[in-house]
Chain A
Amino acid sequence: MDTLIDVRNLTTVFETEQGGSRVVDGVSFHVDSAEAVGLVGESGCGKSVTALSIMRLISSPGRIAGGEILFEGRNLLALSEKEMRKVRGNKISIVFQEPLTSLNPVFTCGEQVREAIALHQKVSRSESKTRAIEMLRLVRIPDPEKRYGAYPHQMSGGMRQRVMIAMALSCEPRLLIADEPTSALDVSVQGQVIELLCELQARLRMAVLLITHDLAVVAQMASRVIVMYAGSIVEEAPVRELFDATAHPYTQGLLGSIARLGQRSGPLSTIPGNVPDPFGLPPGCRFSDRCPRRFEKCSSAEPPLIDISPAHRSRCWLCGGRG
């Protein structure tokens, strides 16, 4: 499969009074065409900032400090703002977490979808409206002609997220970034939205970068998983391998904190402590202060990403690396 987007050594810094804070610190990964990749981690691990960096939507005080984002062979970070605007919403789209606040309250849902179409495609106003209604139908909004004129507050959370998806897919992007697309939705609606995304991904043959903290959602949709911790990638593996042969203690912790149906083996395990703030990173491995399996080496040097199998890498000294 050909590589659609290749992120190399991406570093995004937020300027604070204490100095630059590396929220995304040298992240490298790729997504192939028509592939679904899950990007997983706790709140604050830098996964959303990675997504916004790809869109180049990081605003002050944040800035992309280094790296390359090769998309269809072009480095997005080297494009002019005008060229980048032709990529946004057209070749790469994004669906955000909170559909209510992500839709403009004073415009109709249909108009907000139509606007994206009119912006990137040379079509008449009535044609763009027809296509917008088609998009609403595609994401299975009932009675799309009528719902075209509805305002966001007149729709349910699930319907609003469908509008967001319609907007994002309206120009048939090559890559869809879904940033916690179901976290703000009712559990019953979450499944429907993920199913819809799966189906549309296959139908439109687009790549999806699914950002979430929910490993169940990843298992359902993605074929490969990237786990982030404190601004860097700690493990990367095909989805089955990640669940069956978990290599990194952090990933083990994440998996251990999931409730499983039919298992009544006492309270769920948790990972003690919090994601360290970027100024308080422990020496050596970033996870060492919370890791149940740390030893001396962990505090002295940060492990590299170590190959375990051709597609499985982990940033842990336990994986047989020689430092």
Chain B
Amino acid sequence: MSRFLVRRLIQSVVLLFIVLTITFFLLRLAPGDPMSRYYNPDFSPEMARQVRESLGLDRPLIEQYFRWIRAFARGDFGESIRYQRPVRELLAEAIPNTLRLTIAALALHILVGIFLGVLSAARRYSPFDRVNTIAALFVYSIPEFWLALMLILVFSLKIHALPSSHMQSLDVEGMSALSLFLDRARHLVLPAFVLGIASAASTARYMRGSMLDVLREDYIRTARAKGLPENRVILKHALKNAALPVVTIIGLDLPFLLGGAVIVETIFSWPGMGRLAVDAIYARDYPVVLAINFVVAAIVIIANLLTDIAYGVLDPRITVGRGGGK
């Protein structure tokens, strides 16, 4: 197990390095530079040249690359060109916000997806199952941005039930801890729903299929022959087996969740990493873009590692970290 972890960790570092290198050069291939946004009659080419020089952008690209890699290896993410603040500070503000959104969405994804999938399989071909199938297909087919706008239209603008943007109300000063929590929870509902519901729908479909496969297995017949009630057959004997492939899918889904967060955060003015990334890309704020890429890549790699470990916990036939075996 520990040897497996060490090997995976080394692989991860190499992978991160490759991802960052590609990002660095791709970013520089894009037209424009951090000066683009300053262009106006008062900003002379001479001033632009001076700023570029101060940022080191006039050096050969390969030299910039190595300088940046060295700084990165020391843990120095540099300074945002746009905000004139350390990137580390910007990330420290944005990451917890994105985590709040994605964890809520992931919880919705897992709980709703598995619950509906199991229920659908247990009541196969019932009206519930049919409605569920159609609803899942429908939800899965809707683009996130459109769903977000429609929900804002209905819940924020028509019935005024939920806020349409930001993480909390403007007048939070002097609120009690409880009402602050409730205020933040209300702000979380729409973005987390938009972000999680499509994956929940697909997970529900996978879960249903996986569950139906497992319910045909001989050991399910054995469990019934023991005299176990059907709900225990499903929740104990079938669920653990059926969850195996679904765990992988949830793990592989995480990059899409983080990608979706970019859109959702932009629509709901959520001050997280996704919105920071979009703004940074528009402003060609290279240090910020690279740092966010680093964080997202690291999260995805860690999530994949956790998925592999979860597999070993769920299925005793799989020994994580040993070659061969059954």
Minimum CB–CB distance for B53 against chain A, Å? 63
Binding site for A on B (CB under 8 A): 217-219, 221-229, 237, 240-241, 314-317, 326
Q: Is B219's CB under 8 angstroms from A119's CB?
A: no
Minimum CB–CB distance for B222 against chain A, Å? 5
Given A102-B218, A102-B219, A153-B326 contact (CB < 8 Å): yes
Closest-by-CB residue of B relative to A119 is B227
Residue of B218, B227, B240 near A90 (CB, 8 A) is B227
Binding site for B on A (CB under 8 A): 55, 57, 85-90, 93-94, 96, 98, 101-108, 112, 115-116, 119-120, 151, 153, 164, 167
Q: Is B316's CB under 8 angstroms from A104's CB?
A: no
A107 to B219 alpha-carbon distance, docked (Å): 11
For B226, what are the chain A residues with a Cβ–Cβ distance below 8 Å? 88-89, 115-116, 119, 167
Q: Is B218's CB under 8 angstroms from A96's CB?
A: yes
Residue of B217, B221, B237 near A57 (CB, 8 A) is B221
For A90, what are the chain B residues with a Cβ–Cβ distance below 8 Å? 227
Given A102-B219, A105-B219, A106-B314, A120-B227 contact (CB < 8 Å): yes
Residue of A55, A98, A106 near B241 (CB, 8 A) is A106
Having A88-B226, A101-B218, one finds 9 other A-B pairs with CB under 8 Å, namely A57-B224, A57-B225, A88-B225, A89-B228, A102-B218, A120-B227, A151-B316, A153-B317, A167-B226
Minimum CB–CB distance for B188 against chain A, Å? 35
For B227, what are the chain A residues with a Cβ–Cβ distance below 8 Å? 85-90, 116, 119-120
A94 to B219 alpha-carbon distance, docked (Å): 12
For A151, what are the chain B residues with a Cβ–Cβ distance below 8 Å? 316-317
Question: How many inter-chain contacts with C-beta < 8 Å in the A-B complex?
Answer: 69
Minimum CB–CB distance for B289 against chain A, Å? 44
For A94, what are the chain B residues with a Cβ–Cβ distance below 8 Å? 225
Closest-by-CB residue of B relative to A154 is B316
Q: Is B240's CB under 8 angstroms from A106's CB?
A: yes
Minimum CB–CB distance for B206 against chain A, Å? 18
Q: Is B222's CB under 8 angstroms from A104's CB?
A: yes
Closest-by-CB residue of A relative to B240 is A106
Q: Is B221's CB under 8 angstroms from A96's CB?
A: yes
For B222, what are the chain A residues with a Cβ–Cβ distance below 8 Å? 96, 102-104, 112, 164, 167
For A85, what are the chain B residues with a Cβ–Cβ distance below 8 Å? 227-229
A85 to B232 alpha-carbon distance, docked (Å): 12
Q: Is A119's CB under 8 angstroms from B228's CB?
A: yes
A107 to B220 alpha-carbon distance, docked (Å): 12
List, sorted by A's number, 28 A–B pairs whose CB atoms are closer than 8 Å: A85-B228, A86-B227, A88-B225, A88-B227, A89-B228, A93-B225, A96-B225, A98-B218, A101-B217, A101-B218, A102-B219, A103-B222, A104-B219, A104-B222, A104-B223, A105-B241, A105-B315, A106-B240, A106-B314, A106-B315, A106-B316, A107-B240, A108-B316, A116-B226, A119-B227, A119-B228, A151-B316, A167-B226
Minimum CB–CB distance for A313 against chain B, Å? 30
Sorted nearest first, the 7 A-B pairs with minimum C-beta distance are A89-B227, A88-B227, A89-B226, A101-B218, A104-B219, A102-B218, A151-B316
Given A85-B229, A96-B218, A105-B316 contact (CB < 8 Å): yes
For B219, what are the chain A residues with a Cβ–Cβ distance below 8 Å? 101-105
Minimum CB–CB distance for A63 against chain B, Å? 16
A103 to B240 alpha-carbon distance, docked (Å): 14
Minimum CB–CB distance for B11 against chain A, Å? 28
Minimum CB–CB distance for B315 against chain A, Å? 6
Q: Is A55's CB under 8 angstroms from B225's CB?
A: yes
A34 to B237 alpha-carbon distance, docked (Å): 32
For A102, what are the chain B residues with a Cβ–Cβ distance below 8 Å? 218-219, 221-222
A89 to B228 alpha-carbon distance, docked (Å): 9
Q: Is B228's CB under 8 angstroms from A104's CB?
A: no
Closest-by-CB residue of B relative to A88 is B227
For B326, what are the chain A residues with a Cβ–Cβ distance below 8 Å? 153
Closest-by-CB residue of A relative to B325 is A153
For B237, what are the chain A residues with a Cβ–Cβ distance below 8 Å? 104, 107
A104 to B219 alpha-carbon distance, docked (Å): 5
A154 to B224 alpha-carbon distance, docked (Å): 24
A117 to B237 alpha-carbon distance, docked (Å): 16
Minimum CB–CB distance for A1 against chain B, Å? 26
For B314, what are the chain A residues with a Cβ–Cβ distance below 8 Å? 106
Closest-by-CB residue of A relative to B326 is A153
Given A104-B219, A104-B241, A105-B219, A88-B317 contact (CB < 8 Å): no
